[in-house]
Amino acid sequence: MNFDRRTGWSVAAGVTVIAIIAVYIREWRHGDARSEVATTGAPARIPEKASAKSREDPLASPRSLRQVGLPVELTRKVIPQDNPQTPEKIALGQKLFFDGRLSADGTVSCATCHDPALAFTDGRTASIGIHGRAGQRNAPTILNALYSDAQFWDGRAKTLEEQAGFPITNPVEMGQPTLDAAVAAIAGIEEYKQAFQTVFGRPVNGANLVRALAAYERTLVSFDSPFDHFIAGNKNAIDDSAKRGWELFNTKARCNLCHAQSELARDVTNFTDFDYHNIGIGIVRHKVVPLAREAQQKLATGNLNDIDRAAIETEMSVLGRFLITKKTPDTGAFKTPNLRNVLVTAPYFHDGSQATLWDVMDHYNKGAGLQNPWLDEDIQPLALSESEIDDVVAFLASLTSAEYKELGDHELKRQRALSQTNRPQRDTKRAFGPKIPRPEPPR
């Protein structure tokens, strides 16, 4: 078999991927086609850490649209008219996603930080790029990213196409000086020359490179969880603890204030308001006002490449959405993540500071940053008991898609064991105390 070690890809596998993607396209276009894409039976790997990535991993394949809970019409709607899905384009994007030659030293690909085996995250507090350089932020999953109208923790990219280019040219991530430099690294490869000509009718170029990457990322839809089967009518799909957690999620635990599109209607699809909030993570460790002034001066032009570097390379990262808007209420605000597969995407929050879902719940239960003048108004002590916290975690675990069941079972066991010996965010007195007034934001 003709095998390329740099991409983890064989010619024979390429033919198979095209066939799988063709099924995906038929489903996307017609909806009534019977799925042939195996997305629920593949065993999930449970690596100690992200290892060598392979495009032949079933978890890297485009996902079926015939998943319980998947919003088919919305999925079709979010495909941009100027970048329609085709099997050949998606296959090209998948190859590019796993190709380290897009990075300056040939060692880092998109999959380095977005490993299919780890639900397209990397399991690290902050991601590691070329030459072992560490960034400032945790790598979010790209599963279901197509439904979001902005990308990255601060929303600096409006589309998946725009998002795809930033890591390639960030010095800490893939390290290319320009997108054209990445193009030059692959433009002479015959397979890419032929593929770009077939898909776009043009030689290899930056605009179409990011279009192909975005096309592949839009196939990474992940539903078909026990919770989806519960909502579809199978009352035994989740246990009583998860059912209690679902009620708490929408009531006493107040999770729905950010993890739903409306406080009045329960969200069973994306579990996010697609908005930005300061939830009291890490900000008191930083001298925020001087950082904000520095950001206003250095990022006054709104150049997105400058903002990208500030977010990934500097302490200004803590400012979050403020880097984009320069508005005081956005200080330390970050995008509400989609909660699907949250169990298998630890560690948590934009800085990866929380190791378990129990830590996350303890953080919210105590009302978070008492000295944080920019804290979201909905953050307050919750007075959740230990059993209620366990129930919310059980509900969150029920959002794990079928293809990650084995990884999810392993991760839930790991996190539960850790929570029984180490609860650094736990503060029962504050959790059951009154809401403390926030200080006024400094001028």
- Is there a domain that residue 441 lies in? no
Query: Domain limits at 341?
Result: 226-280+335-431
Q: What is the tens place of the pLDDT at every residue in 343-398?
A: 999 999 999 999 999 999 999 999 977 678 899 999 999 999 999 999 999 999 99
- Is there a domain that residue 363 lies in? yes
| This prediction's pTM | 0.89
The number of folded domains in the chain is 3
- Is there a domain that residue 442 lies in? no
Q: Can you give the pLDDT at residue 98?
A: 97
Return mean pLDDT, the chain: 89
Clarify whether residues 145 and 276 are in a common domain. Answer: no
Q: Is the pLDDT of residue 185 over 90?
A: yes
Between 169-173, 247-251, 373-377, 414-418, the lowest mean confidence (pLDDT) is in 373-377
Q: Can you give the pLDDT at residue 259?
A: 97
Clarify whether residues 255 and 366 are in a common domain. Answer: yes
Q: Domain containing 369 — which CATH number?
A: 1.10.760.10
Clarify whether residues 299 and 273 are in a common domain. Answer: no
Final residue in a domain of this structure, among 217, 249, 268? 217
Clarify whether residues 213 and 196 are in a common domain. Answer: yes
Between 45-59, 194-208, 345-359, the lowest mean confidence (pLDDT) is in 45-59
Final residue in a domain of this structure, among 193, 217, 241? 217
Final residue in a domain of this structure, among 196, 217, 238? 217
- Is there a domain that residue 159 lies in? yes
Three-state secondary structure of the chain: CCEECCCCEEHHHHHHHHHHHHHHHHHHHHCCCCCCCCCCCCCCCCCCCCCCCCCCCHHHCCCCCCCCCCCHHHHHHCCCCCCCCCHHHHHHHHHHHCCHHHCCCCCCCHHHHCEHHHCCECCCCCCECHHHCECCCCCCCCCCHHHCCCECCCCCECCHHHHHHHHHHCCCCCCCCCHHHHHHHHCCCHHHHHHHHHHHCCCCCHHHHHHHHHHHHCCCCCCCCHHHHHHCCCCCCCCHHHHHHHHHHCCCCCHHHCCCCCCCCCCCCCCCCCCEECCCCCHHHCCHHHHHHHHHHHCCCCCHHHHHHHHHHCHHHHHECHHHHCCHHHCCEEECCCCCCHHHHCCECCCCCECCHHHHHHHHHCCCCCCCCCCCCCCCCCCCCHHHHHHHHHHHHCCCCHHHHHHHHHHHHHHHHHHCCCCCCCCHHHHCCCCCCCCCCCC
- Is there a domain that residue 440 lies in? no
Q: Can you give the pLDDT at residue 36?
A: 34
Q: What is the tens place of the pLDDT at every residue in 215-227?
A: 999 999 999 999 9
- Is there a domain that residue 104 lies in? yes
Clarify whether residues 174 and 269 are in a common domain. Answer: no
Between 51-60, 84-93, 123-132, 210-219, the lowest mean confidence (pLDDT) is in 51-60
Clarify whether residues 64 and 94 are in a common domain. Answer: yes
Clarify whether residues 272 and 371 are in a common domain. Answer: yes
Clarify whether residues 341 and 302 are in a common domain. Answer: no
- Is there a domain that residue 436 lies in? no
- Is there a domain that residue 52 lies in? yes
Clarify whether residues 66 and 87 are in a common domain. Answer: yes
Clarify whether residues 136 and 156 are in a common domain. Answer: yes
Q: What is the tens place of the pLDDT at every residue in 151-183?
A: 999 999 999 999 999 999 999 999 999 999 999
Clarify whether residues 73 and 172 are in a common domain. Answer: yes
Clarify whether residues 126 and 23 are in a common domain. Answer: yes
